[in-house]
Amino acid sequence: MIRYDEHLKEFCIDDIRELFLSVHWESGNYPEKVVKGLNSSSTVVSAWDDDRLIGLVRGLDDGETVAFLHYLLVRPEYQGMHIGQELMERILHKYENMLYVKIMPSDPSTIPFYEKFGFRIYDNYCAMEIKRL
């Protein structure tokens, strides 16, 4: 049975490395930084199969007006089991009183998933980043 945790923010470096590399995310090569970042995040919701970290989503927010969701990921062998959906529902519930909740999907194929939760693409802005990996 999958267990969800909405309070844990301190993770084992090996768990983070394995999870991020399982979905081929470059940040998995920097698990120490990811662990520190998660520990400093406003909200982290994680999914566990016994003691195995199988997914997580994190939010960064100002406490009142805006929250940015980042790092929604689920191990490939657990995808299709609605774990990503459950993670999204749980974090969106925490941010239900925010004026804005934003996400920047890096993979266009995931856009329909986010649209199911009410996210929309707007014509008046685009995501930008400085990449230092």
Residue 52 belongs to domain spanning: 2-115
| Residue 59 located in a structural domain | yes
| Residue 129 located in a structural domain | no
Give the pLDDT confidence of 41-83 residue by residue, as tens digits.
999 999 999 999 999 999 999 999 999 999 899 999 999 999 9
| Residue 122 located in a structural domain | no
What's this model's pTM, rounded to 2 decimal places? 0.92
Q: Pairing mode, if any, of strands 52-61 and 100-103?
A: unpaired
Q: Which helix (H) or strand (E) holds 60?
A: strand 52-61
| Residue 46 located in a structural domain | yes
Q: ∠ CA 103-92-122 to the nearest 5 degrees?
A: 35
Total structural domains within the chain:
1
Orientation angle between helical segments 13-22 and 31-40, nearest 10 degrees: 100
CATH number of the domain bearing residue 55? 3.40.630.30
Return mean pLDDT, the chain: 94
| Residue 54 located in a structural domain | yes
| Residue 132 located in a structural domain | no
- pLDDT at residue 105, rounded to an integer: 87
